[in-house]
Amino acid sequence: MNQHGFLKIYLTRSKRILAHIACFTAVTNILMLVPSIYMLQIYDRVLSSGNTFTLWMLTILMMSLIFLIGGLEYIRQIVLLYLGSGLDKETAPRVYSAVFQQKLTGSSQAQVNALDDLSTLRQFITGQAPAAFFDLPWFPIYLIVLYSFHPLLGHFALCSAAILVLFAYLNEKLAANHMEKAMLVGMAANYQFQTQLQHVESAHALGIRKNLQTRWLGFQESFIGSFVNGSKRITAFTHMSKSLRMIVQSGVLGLGAWLVIEGQITAGMMIAASILLGRVLAPVDQLIMAWKQWISARHAYARLNNLLSTTELKKAKIALPAPTGTLTVSGLVSAPPGVNVATLRGISFALQPGDILAVSGDSGSGKSTLARVLLNIWPAAQGKIYLDKSEIKHWDQQDLSQYLGYVSQDSELFSGSIRANISRMADDNDEAVIKAAQEAKAHELIMSLPLGYETILGENGRGLSGGQKQKIALARACYLHPKIIILDEPDTSLDKQALAELKQILQSWSKQQVTIILISHDTDLISIANKSLNLKQGIQTFFGDNPLFKKTTRSLSTSYPSASNISVSFKHALPKEKANG
- Radius of gyration of the chain measured on its C-alpha atoms: 35
Is the CB of residue 518 less than 8 Å from the CB of residue 525? yes
Tens digit of each residue's pLDDT, the chain (581 residues): 444 478 788 888 888 888 989 898 899 989 988 998 998 899 888 888 888 999 999 999 999 999 999 999 999 999 999 999 999 999 999 898 888 888 887 665 556 678 889 999 999 999 888 888 888 888 888 899 999 999 999 999 999 989 888 887 887 778 778 877 887 888 888 888 888 887 787 887 888 888 888 888 988 898 898 888 888 888 888 788 788 888 998 999 999 999 999 999 998 899 989 989 988 888 777 777 777 788 888 888 988 988 888 877 677 788 899 999 999 999 999 998 878 889 999 999 999 999 999 999 998 899 999 999 999 989 899 999 999 999 999 999 889 999 999 999 888 899 899 999 999 998 678 999 999 999 999 999 999 999 999 999 987 777 888 889 999 999 999 999 999 999 999 988 788 899 999 999 999 999 999 999 999 989 999 999 999 999 999 999 999 999 888 554 434 333 333 333 323 332 333 333 333 33
Type of residue found at 445: L
Q: What is the torsion angle, in degrees rounded to the nearest 10, for the CA atoms of residue 56, residue 61, residue 63 and residue 69?
A: -170
Shortest CA distance to 351 belongs to which of 326, 331, 384, 329? 326
Give the C-alpha separation, 400 to 63, whole Å.
66
Residues 6+ apart with CB under 8 A from 226: 178, 179, 181, 182, 185
* Domains in the chain: boundaries: 1-127, 139-289, 327-580
Give the C-alpha separation, 514 to 483, whole Å.
5
What's the whole-model pTM score? Answer: 0.73
Is the CB of residue 284 less than 8 Å from the CB of residue 294? no
Residues 6+ apart with CB under 8 A from 299: 180, 183
Do the domains 327-580 and 139-289 match in fold? no
Shortest CA distance to 351 belongs to which of 478, 520, 524, 484? 484
* Superfamily of the domain at 327-580: P-loop containing nucleotide triphosphate hydrolases (3.40.50.300)
Q: Where are the beta strands (DSSP E) in 20-133?
A: none
Residues 6+ apart with CB under 8 A from 473: 407, 408, 411, 412, 413
Give the C-alpha separation, 453 to 472, whole Å.
10
Give the C-alpha separation, 399 to 523, whole Å.
34
**Could you tell me the fold of the domain covering 139-289?**
ABC transporter transmembrane region fold (1.20.1560)
Q: DSSP for 338-382, please give it.
A: T--S-SEEEEEEEE-TT-EEEEEE-TTSSHHHHHHHHTTSS--SE
164: helix, strand or coil: helix
Give the C-alpha separation, 198 to 378, whole Å.
25
Give the C-alpha separation, 570 to 578, whole Å.
10
Dihedral sign for Cα atoms in the order 367, 373, 377, 380 = positive
Give the C-alpha separation, 315 to 398, whole Å.
11
Q: DSSP for 201-270, please give it.
A: HHHHHHT-HHHHHHHHHHHHHHHHHHHHHHHHHHHHHHHHHHHHHHHHHHHHHHHHHHHHHTTSS-HHHH
| Helix H or strand E encompassing 328 | strand 327-334
Report phi then psi at 456, rounded to 5.
-90, 125
b/e map of 273-286 (b: 16 or more CB within 10 Å)? bbbbbbbbbbbbbb
